Amino acid sequence: MMRVASLCNVLGTDWRTQMSELALFGGPKAVTTTPEERWVQVNSDVKAAVNELLDQGVISIGGPTGVIGEFEAAFAQMTGSGYALAMNNGTATLHSAYFAVGVKPGDEVLLPAYTWHASATPIIHCAATPVFCDILPETLTIDPDDIERRITERTRALCVVHVFGNVCDMDRICDICTRHGISLIEDASHAHGAMWKGKPVGSFGAVGCFSMQGAKAVSGGEAGVAVTDDPDLLDRMVLLGHFGRPRMGGVDVVNQIGDMSLGAKYRAHPWAIAMAHVGLKRLPELNERRTANYEFLNDQLRDCPGIEVIDALPGASRAAYLEYKFKLSRQAIQAVGRGRIVEAMAAEGAPVTADRYSDTNYTYGLLHAAPLFTAVDRTTLGGCFYDPTRPGSAPRPALPVAEDVNQRLISLPGFIDVERDSLQQVAGAMRKVMEHLDELN
């Protein structure tokens, strides 16, 4: 290809359209059969479950009865937890978890910078301070060594994120939390059914939090669910957002409040939970299919020049896979740039995008650099969105791994039920671009 590129001066600026094999310059597309997702999320079982509630006139449930109670029991069993509490979204579960473990003004909560902002924003609802940590380059999960470096006397809790279905090092993380007396929250919004050494994610910490938004492996359209083994933490979550729901009665201050709540309305809609309950029953099949597809793509691309696959830690069983992730090499980024590579892969027919947590897709990029946490004076917002013990923005920490890796990540959809030939063509399209990288300059 370098020989082809050297003809530029002879043929003029449009030489690539005359000689290149890349579809971007007029060559044949590598993907001739676009991956068609045959997995139907809103299937006949979902419609029947929701219609049954409609026929019964069930439009709201305030306690652990009916479909809400059935789903909570099933989800608690799936995660090996004592209790599950359905909510209206995953963000509500995280706010409830931070509140339940007692996060308050003056406290710090550690979490990775590489995550969706809803892992962090509920912390400022508690008038506490998010402290962002670096990630492991091989897995994209939080770096236990960096957790240890950032613990202070203010650290109240740690939120780990099993990002895109990849499980954190739960042995080291549980050890850190035990030694330092820190409450552990698991954000498992991307990881329904994932495990660490045979134990389900969500069951390691004080509270496990799961989103059930429309794109998630178990979906209610908009819903969430929290799990815990501690009845007192369950009571505190109920107190925050579930007026009218019976409580366990083990927390004095909760008992003093009586049958009132703190005013938030976090309980789930029964129609959403009916949909999620069907999705939970289908989760094993979904995870089996997505795992097989990701492993196939990894096998196809593991030796591709300029592409690095994302590995799992020993002992981790990935699941759910909101998206499939790959890294471009530093050399590829320096030579061409991610945007140009994504453009060329898309021209070949591969549904590749830049990583969703980069500033290519969202203006704030990684959370440790987001203006909400580094530049905005939150005292001007009203309410309690700042720590009164230290008002003002926080300095941006140096997180070299996250900053490097985030600019090199590309994504594919989390394919469930597609033809294997289509996946083969997608992998071939990505390989084709990387093998003709010099033509993109």
Q: What is the pLDDT of residue 246?
A: 86
Find the catalytic residue in 216, 325, 327, 432: 216
Q: What is the mean pLDDT of residues 260-268?
A: 94
pLDDT tier for residue 16 given thresholds of 50, 70 and 90? low
Predicted local confidence at residue 181, as pLDDT: 98
Please state the pTM of the whole predicted model: 0.94
The predicted structure's pLDDT at residue 17 = 53
Span 412-424, pLDDT tens digits:
999 999 999 999 9
The pLDDT value recorded for residue 12 is 47
* Burial profile 233-250: b = 16 or more Cβ within 10 angstroms, e = fewer: bbbbbbbbbbbebebeee
C-alpha dihedral over 72, 74, 79, 85, to 10 degrees? 0
Contact 270, 65 (CB under 8 A): no
Tokens of 102: 């007692």
- Quote the tokens at residue 419: 């033809």
Coil vs helix vs strand at 73: helix
Specify the pLDDT at position 294: 98
pLDDT at position 353, please?
A: 96
Mean pLDDT of 122-138: 97
Query: Residue 182: is its pLDDT beyond 50?
Result: yes
| pLDDT exceeds cutoff 60 at 4 | no
Contact 221, 245 (CB under 8 A): no
Helices (H), 20-113: 44-56, 66-79, 90-100
Report the alpha-carbon distance of residue 81 to residue 290 in Å, rounded: 25
pLDDT the model gives residue 358: 85
Burial class (CB in 10 A: 0-12, 13-18, 19+), 326: buried
Q: Is the pLDDT of residue 7 over 50?
A: no
Neighbours of 87 (CB within 10 A): 29
- pLDDT grade for 248, boundaries at 50, 70 and 90: confident
Rg (CA), the chain: 24
pLDDT for the residue 323? 95
Angstrom distance (rounded) from CA 387 to CA 272: 35
> In angstroms, rounded to a whole number, what is the distance separating the alpha carbons of residues 232 and 225?
17
Lowest mean pLDDT segment, chosen from 10-24, 55-69, 146-160, 371-385: 10-24
Average pLDDT of 20-30?
95
Q: Which amino acid belongs to residue 429? A: A
Find the helix or strand (DSSP H, E) in which 413 lies. strand 409-413
**Is there a contact between 437 and 306 (Cβ–Cβ < 8 Å)?**
yes
Q: Give the single-character DSSP code of 142.
A: B
Query: ∠ at Cα 141 (137, 145), nearest 5°?
Result: 80
Question: In this prediction, what percent of the chain has a pLDDT beyond 70?
Answer: 95
* Half-sphere CA count of 167, side-chain side, radius 13 A: 25
**Arithmetic mean of pLDDT over the chain:** 93
> Which pLDDT band, with edges at 50, 70 and 90, does 191 fall under?
very high
216 given a catalytic annotation: yes
Beta sheet of 409-413, edge-to-edge order = 307-309, 323-328, 409-413, 353-354
The model's confidence at residue 362, banded by pLDDT at 50, 70 and 90, is confident
Quick one: pLDDT at residue 2? 42
More confident residue, 269 or 382: 269
Whether residue 348 has pLDDT greater than 60: yes
CA dihedral 210, 211, 214, 217 (to 10 degrees): -20
Instruction: Name the band, by pLDDT with cuts 50, 70 and 90, for residue 392.
Output: low
pLDDT band for position 15 (cuts 50, 70, 90) = very low
Q: For 53-66, how does the pLDDT look when each residue is reduced to its tens digit (9 = 90+)?
A: 999 999 999 889 99
Percent of the chain with pLDDT over 90: 82
Q: Which of 15-29, 178-192, 227-241 has the lowest mean pLDDT?
A: 15-29
Instruction: Give the domains, in start order, of the chain with CATH numbers.
Output: 2-38+283-358+405-440 (3.90.1150.10), 44-279 (3.40.640.10)
